[in-house]
Amino acid sequence: MNLCINCSRASCKRYYWERGPAWQVGILGTGKPSRPVGKSFAQKSAVFFAALCLALAAALPAAEINLPDMGSPADAVLSKNDEQQLGRAIMRQIRASGELVEDPQINEYINEIGHRIAAQANSDGNHEFTFFVVDNPVINAFALPGGFIGVHTGLLEATRNEDELAGVLAHEVAHVTQRHIARRIHATQRQSILNTAIMLGAILAGAAGAGGDAMQGAIAVAQGTAAQQQINFTRQNEYEADRVGISALAAAGFDPQGMGSFFEVMSRGITPHEFRVPEFLRTHPVSSARIAEARGRARNYEAVHTEDSITYGIARTRLLVAGEDMPDAAVAYFEREPYEYQSDVERYGRAIAYLRADRSMEARRIFEELANKDPEVIAYHIGLADAQLANEAIAEAEDTYERALALFPRNLPLTIHYAEALLQLGQAERAHRMLLDLLNNVPPTPEQVRLIAKAAIEAGEIAEAHYYMAEYRLMIGDLVGGVNFLRQALRVPELEEIQRIRFEARIDFIREFMTEEQLQRLQRSGAPG
pLDDT in tens, 202-247: 444 444 444 445 545 554 544 444 444 444 447 778 888 888 999 9
Q: Which residue has the higher pLDDT, 52 or 480?
A: 480
User: Is 242 marked active-site?
Assistant: yes
Q: Residue 252's pLDDT is what?
A: 95
Q: Residue 163's pLDDT is what?
A: 95
- Taking the C-alpha atoms of residue 413 and residue 420, their distance in angstroms, rounded to an integer, is 11
Q: Residue 288's pLDDT is what?
A: 77
Q: Is the pLDDT of residue 403 over 50?
A: yes
- Please write the tens of the pLDDT for every residue from 264-313: 877 765 434 344 445 555 556 666 777 888 888 888 888 788 899 999 99
User: Is 163 marked active-site?
Assistant: no
Q: Residue 62's pLDDT is what?
A: 38
Q: Residue 164's pLDDT is what?
A: 95
Pairing of strands 141-144, 148-152: antiparallel
Taking Cα atoms as reference points, which of 83, 238, 111, 451 lies closest to residue 91?
A: 83
Decide: residue 526, CB within 10 A, 0-12 exposed, 13-18 middle, 19+ buried. Answer: exposed
Residues whose CB falls within 8 Å of the CB of residue 389, separated by 6 or more in sequence, listed in order: 397, 421, 424
Q: Which residue has the higher pLDDT, 275 or 488?
A: 488
- Taking the C-alpha atoms of residue 239 and residue 187, their distance in angstroms, rounded to an integer, is 17
State phi, psi for 235 to the nearest 5 degrees.
-60, -45
Name the active-site residue from 242, 386, 447, 464: 242
Mean pLDDT for all residues in the chain? 78
- Cβ atoms of 455 and 435 closer than 8 Å: yes
Q: Which residue has the higher pLDDT, 219 or 417?
A: 417
Query: For 202-206, 486-490, 494-498, 507-511, which range has the lowest pLDDT when averaged over its residues?
Result: 202-206
CA atoms within 13 A of residue 276's CA, in its CB half-sphere: 2
- Give the best-scoring range by mean pLDDT among 137-146, 224-233, 402-411: 402-411
pLDDT confidence band for 472 (50 / 70 / 90): very high
Residues of the chain with pLDDT > 70: what percent? 71
Q: What is the arithmetic mean of pLDDT over 157-172?
A: 94
- Taking the C-alpha atoms of residue 155 and residue 280, their distance in angstroms, rounded to an integer, is 8
Q: Is the pLDDT of residue 50 over 90?
A: no
Q: Residue 285's pLDDT is what?
A: 65
Q: Which residue has the higher pLDDT, 328 or 126?
A: 328
pLDDT confidence band for 189 (50 / 70 / 90): low
Q: Which helix (H) or strand (E) holds 148?
A: strand 148-152
Q: Residue 437's pLDDT is what?
A: 95
State phi, psi for 279 to the nearest 5 degrees.
-60, -35
Query: For 102-106, 222-226, 371-375, 419-423, which range has the lowest pLDDT when averaged over its residues?
Result: 222-226
Domains of the chain, start order: 1-31+411-529 (no CATH), 80-183+210-298 (3.30.2010.10), 324-408 (1.25.40.10)
Q: Is the pLDDT of residue 86 over 50?
A: yes
Query: For 187-191, 357-361, 464-468, 509-513, which range has the lowest pLDDT when averaged over its residues?
Result: 187-191
Measured on CA atoms in the order 486, 487, 492, 496, is the torsion positive or negative? positive
Q: Residue 281's pLDDT is what?
A: 56
- Please write the tens of the pLDDT for every residue from 320-340: 999 998 999 999 999 999 999
Name the active-site residue from 172, 238, 471, 478: 172
Query: For 125-134, 383-392, 415-424, which range has the lowest pLDDT when averaged over its residues?
Result: 125-134
- Taking the C-alpha atoms of residue 432 and residue 529, their distance in angstroms, rounded to an integer, is 31
Q: Is the pLDDT of residue 455 over 50?
A: yes
Find the length of the chain: 529
- Taking the C-alpha atoms of residue 501 and residue 109, their distance in angstroms, rounded to an integer, is 39
Cite the DSSP H helix spans in 299-393: 310-323, 327-334, 344-356, 360-373, 378-390
Q: Is the pLDDT of residue 382 over 90?
A: yes
C-alpha dihedral over 154, 233, 131, 316, to 10 degrees? Answer: 20
Q: Is the pLDDT of residue 36 over 50?
A: no
Q: What is the arithmetic mean of pLDDT over 49-56?
A: 36
pTM as predicted: 0.75
Q: Residue 254's pLDDT is what?
A: 95
Q: Is the pLDDT of residue 512 over 50?
A: yes
- Taking the C-alpha atoms of residue 111 and residue 257, their distance in angstroms, rounded to an integer, is 21
